[in-house]
Structure 1
Amino acid sequence: MNFLAFNLEELPFVVIALILAFTFHEYAHAYVAHKFGDDTAKNQGRLTLNPIQHLDPIGTLFILIAGFGWARPVPVNRFNFKNPKLAGVLVSIAGPLSNFLIAFVAYGFLYFIITFGFGMVVPQFFIDLFNMIVYLNIILFIFNLLPFPPLDGYRIIEDLSPPRIRSKMSQYEQYGVLLFLILVITPLDRYTIWPFINGGREAVGLAFNTIYYGIASLFS
């Protein structure tokens, strides 16, 4: 009996893709925070591409079993920013954007080796790996933009909100976390979160295909 969210034969690709996705996601948060004047993450050794500094054992296990999970959150002190609202938004969006860019590059690799007939030359292992990298990074991109605490999408809304609204959000944040957990660990996710993620994944994939089709047409 397989108790994992993925097939056993997919597991090596999932692990590699997750290490890549989580590492760059958290590094992006730390890098942008550092650029805007907050060295909290840097001082804690998080401004690095060493995956050991970013992976959360329980969060990684959860994504293998339940299909969702998390890395170790990068600490950010917004009081160190000269422009807290702008910097806060950019730091929050940097993580999901890194996943988007990874998926975009990996999709391009697959598109061009198939379009120009290199599929028979490239080992199947790499094709399967890049497919998984695209799949998981698009999902993480969309998932992290959901407007629930403690996800990046919530932090973006929080930073863009006026002080009065932000204080109210902080007051009820614990209930938002509880609602989020209910949605992701109960069958409700089939009717709420996953339809949204799958629809977004299809839209992003179509956008990638359109972009690379346009690029490929320039060389044909």
Structure 2
Amino acid sequence: MDIVLTILVWAFPVLLAITLHEAAHGYAARHFGDPTAFLAGRISLNPLRHIDPVGTIAVPFGIVLLNLVTGASFPPFGWAKAVPVDFGRLRHPKRDMLWVAAAGPAANLAQAFGWGLMLGLQNALDGYGGDLFYQMGVAGIMVNLALMLLNLLPIPPLDGGRIAISLLPAPLAYRFAQLERYGFMILIALLYLRVLDYLVWPLIAPLKAIIMALTGA
């Protein structure tokens, strides 16, 4: 029963966080001149269009179950199928890359505040919706903060890497972009060596506290 309740609490926030993250990339790309994601039907709130069986389902829920079984507290995170973006079709490719990349983490930050506001409303209604809704709201804040912070790491092809490429002078940006082929391996190494335990995950609790304080959650 604990496993079923845990999945119920986390399933919707995880799917929504990943879906809106990817849709935001596609919307920003279309806004700045690249209709590739739009033509591929990826500017959509339908999670089925964005789900990656490993990154959207196996990894986040594997982490949730690992936490439940072992008592660990690893923040759940995951990924979806990357939204196709042809940066060459953007009106100002190097400059607009920053806004397209930043749209995903911005969507997660907005969702974290959205969950906080719903919890604030629940408090104002004397706990209407019960403990399960409260736990889902907290899960929504945490998963969106984890996804935002992870994607802001300056490692291409993560969003932080794209932002760095946009900001660096052209020669340095070109060299930095060559890391993209190794980006996933670098991320796995950081996870395995628990570097993120010091660089990223400690930021979740204070940011969560700030959001809950600002929203009355």
Report TM bin, short chain: 0.7 to 0.9
Q: Tell me by how many angstroms 1:196 deviates.
A: 2.6
For the pair 1:58 / 2:67, whether they are aligned, the reply is no
Aligned to 1:34, which of 30, 35, 46? 30
Q: Tell me by how many angstroms 1:159 deviates.
A: 1.3
For the pair 1:101 / 2:104, whether they are aligned, the reply is no
CA distance in 2, matches of 1:176, 1:70: 14
Aligned to 2:202, which of 199, 203, 212? 199
List aligned pairs for 1:104-123, cutoff 5 A: 104-114=113-123, 116=124, 118-119=126-127, 121-123=128-130
Residue number in structure 1 paired with 2:67: none
| 1:75–1:9 distance in 2 versus 1, CA, 3 Å | same
Q: How many aligned positions are there?
A: 203
Which letter maps to 2:111?
I
Residue number in structure 2 paired with 1:212: 215
Q: Tell me by how many angstroms 1:201 deviates.
A: 1.2
Q: Tell me by how many angstroms 1:123 deviates.
A: 2.5
Which one has a bigger Cα radius of gyration? 1
Residue number in structure 2 paired with 1:14: 10
CA contact 1:100–1:141 (8 Å) conserved in 2? yes
* 1:104-130: CA deviation from partner (whole Å, max 9, x where unpaired): 01112213422x3521x3232221211
**Displaced runs of 4+ in structure 1, greater than 3 A?**
none
CA distance in 2, matches of 1:20, 1:177: 23
TM-score normalised by structure 2 residue count? 0.85
Residue number in structure 2 paired with 1:131: 138
For the pair 1:152 / 2:179, whether they are aligned, the reply is no
Greater relative CO (CA pairs within 8 A, separation 6+):
2
CA distance in 1, matches of 2:12, 2:210: 25
Which letter maps to 1:99?
N
* 1:151-177: CA deviation from partner (whole Å, max 9, x where unpaired): 111111011111100121133333443
CA contact 1:149–1:180 (8 Å) conserved in 2? no
User: Unaligned regions of 5+ residues in structure 2, if any?
Assistant: 64-75
CA contact 2:77–2:143 (8 Å) conserved in 1? no
CA distance in 2, matches of 1:146, 1:131: 23
* 1:130-155: CA deviation from partner (whole Å, max 9, x where unpaired): 11111111111111111122211111
Which letter maps to 1:151?
L
Which letter maps to 2:51?
L
TM-score normalised by structure 1 residue count? 0.84
Which letter maps to 2:28?
V
CA distance in 2, matches of 1:53, 1:175: 26
Q: Tell me by how many angstroms 1:86 deviates.
A: 2.7
Which letter maps to 1:86?
R
Residue number in structure 2 paired with 1:3: none
Q: Tell me by how many angstroms 1:200 deviates.
A: 1.6
CA distance in 2, matches of 1:195, 1:149: 20
Residue number in structure 2 paired with 1:79: 88
CA contact 2:156–2:179 (8 Å) conserved in 1? no
* 1:9-66: CA deviation from partner (whole Å, max 9, x where unpaired): 3112221111111110010000010111100111111011111111111112122224
